[in-house]
Amino acid sequence: MSIYGAINSATTGLDAQSKALENISGNVANSSTTGYKRLDTSFSDLVASTGSRQSEQVSGTVLATSRATNYLSGDITSADRNTYMAINGPGYFLVTNRDGLTQQTPESYYTRAGDFELDTERNLVNSAGYFLQGYPINPATGAVSDRPEPIQVSDAPMPAKPSTQIDYQANLPSTPTTDNYDTTDGAPNSQYVDLSVFSTEDTQATPVLDDGGSPATILTATSLLQDSDEFSPGDTITLTVGAHSAETFTVGADTTVQDLLDKLNSMHGVSAEMLSTGAISISSLEDMTFTGGATPINVSLTAQPIAPATSVDRTVVTGDKADDFIKSSIAGGQETVYDENGTPVNVELRWALNAENKWSLFYNTNTKATGDEVAWKKVSDMTFDAAGRLTSPASGLVEIPDLEVNGVGMGDITFKFGQENLTQYEDTIGNATSIDLSQDGFPSGTLQDVSIDAEGNVIGKYSNDKSQKLFKIPVATFAAEQELQRVDGAAFSETSTSGEPDFRNGGTIRAKALESSNADIAKEFSKLIITQQAYSANSKVLSTANQMLDSVLNIVR
């Protein structure tokens, strides 16, 4: 290589180190830029001659080229903005410029700068002026569109959703301690609902109990039942009252009439007394049958309606009976439900025990009912087995057509219980416990905030405490991301050599986070020192070559 070749090599060295300095300068300048990807410098030699032997070859010039570092992520740090985000792993946010807001098919750019905020038009835009694109999500079905568009968050209110289902969980006590409950011997069956809220008594009398003599001797309460010709020792009397299991009463040698009266009076809603005529008068608020005896006695009673009703209706409680009902039932919780307009309605529930392991659930349909206006309506009857598990309804579902509270119609409502959620386990407190109610309706709400979740969804948060997915944010990857073309604002555009974007294999989105620049100041300063020294060395080669040329020229002089 001649002196002129050395000068040429040193000149290219100066040019290459100048380019390296330019890249270092840009990296340092952008060390605080969100999502910035530094440019490194690669050096390659250009051979000056290609001699056939090693001894004939000489060093050539140098060429500096820029090398992209898109594949290197910067540190991800937490941020205090709900709309900031970072990509953990490979990929880029799909963005467009302002012109793309009005284009049918926006021009696409790609960036790692996730410092997006809502502008005055409610578009998500980052500090470089790029607008985030995403897939719209249908709020009614949750379906995600396959066509991206610039994300503009609508401030339209979330419409109300009428309640259609109430999920109910509770444990009912085997013996409820109602206000009427009394454990003394003088208050049998006080755990059961007061039947007088549904019906009035039907009263009938048995045949006269006498000894059959002539003249006949009338039995009294203290007489033995076997002294009558209607009963003999060993006779069995079957007593059935309403939903209670049938009970038997066996006549023994020492059984008195009073023993039978005590048995009758111990039954739910039944009262009995010995008349002076010798007959037993039986009154019952429930349908009842009395069958048995040596000379069979058959007494059948039918509960009577409360005037002005013409039939007994155990599905409703009127206003004038509401206090008696409350005293003989236990609270079952309450839940706020919503109609089609989002009007909130409080549904209050109470449980009434009809017989052992048999309950009825009621809701308050009119909180101000008086007289014969309906105050409480029955939801359903519930039956449990001896282990406390729900057996009926077997499905654990109950449909209530046209649920109405204080004149506000709620439409059809489904109560969902389930065998595991509604139980009857022993409870010494005597109240319904572990009550938990939830429903699927909500009122309308205005948009309060916008955030990003861990799945990359744009979430709208509303004044009704509900959230709604609005957009799905895509993450694009490229087969040759180093071939992307850099554009202003830490963004890139697709090229023919980068390949088309793939939205299937990108990294995950981290909400309330930002990716820092991957330019490290310490490393850039280290490269700066090396570049400066290399530049100085090339300058020294030039000055030395110049001196050598001067020496040659001086020979001629």
- pLDDT for 19 equals 84
d(CA 37, CA 27): 8
The three-state secondary structure class of 348 is: strand
Per-position DSSP letters for 197-226, written without gaps between them: GT-B-EEEEPPP-B---SSPPBP-TTSBGG
- Tell me the domain boundaries of the chain: 3-69+518-556, 75-159+446-516, 165-177+313-439, 201-292
- List of long-range contacts for 253-256, beta carbons under 8 Å, 24+ apart: 253/224, 253/226, 254/224, 255/224, 255/225, 255/226, 256/221, 256/222, 256/223, 256/224, 256/225
- pLDDT for 163 equals 96
Q: Which CATH class, in words, describes the domain spanning 165-177+313-439?
A: mainly beta
Binning pLDDT at 50, 70 and 90, where does residue 58 land?
low
Segment 288-319, tens digit of pLDDT: 999 988 788 999 999 999 988 899 999 999 99
d(CA 555, CA 276): 163
Nearest-CA neighbor of 243 among 359, 91, 128?
Answer: 359
Which of 40-49, 62-71, 155-164, 322-331 is predicted with the least confidence, judged by mean pLDDT? Answer: 40-49
- pLDDT for 416 equals 95
Q: What is the CA radius of gyration of the chain?
A: 46
Q: Which CA distances in Å does 457 have to 36, 78, 152, 454, 460?
A: 24, 18, 13, 7, 10
Average the pLDDT over 44-70 and give the result: 72
Q: Which residues contact 550 (CB under 8 A, 6 or more apart)?
A: none
pLDDT at 1 over 60: no
Segment 253-268, tens digit of pLDDT: 999 999 999 999 999 9
Burial class (CB in 10 A: 0-12, 13-18, 19+), 22: middle
Segment 114-124, tens digit of pLDDT: 999 999 999 99
- pLDDT for 22 equals 84
Cα 286 from chain centroid? Answer: 45
Which of 64-68, 267-271, 473-477 is predicted with the least confidence, judged by mean pLDDT? Answer: 64-68
Binning pLDDT at 50, 70 and 90, where does residue 44 land?
confident
**H or E segment to which residue 377 belongs:** strand 374-384
Average the pLDDT over 31-39 and give the result: 81
Q: Which residues contact 554 (CB under 8 A, 6 or more apart)?
A: none
- pLDDT for 186 equals 58
129 φ, ψ (degrees, to nearest 5): 90, 15
d(CA 6, CA 105): 55
130 DSSP 8-state letter: P
Under a CB-based contact definition with an 8 Å cutoff, are residues 206 and 290 in contact? yes
Segment 401-441, tens digit of pLDDT: 999 999 999 999 999 998 789 999 987 889 999 999 999 99
Per-position DSSP letters for 39-53, written without gaps between them: EEEEEEEE-S---SS
Nearest-CA neighbor of 211 among 232, 190, 194?
Answer: 232
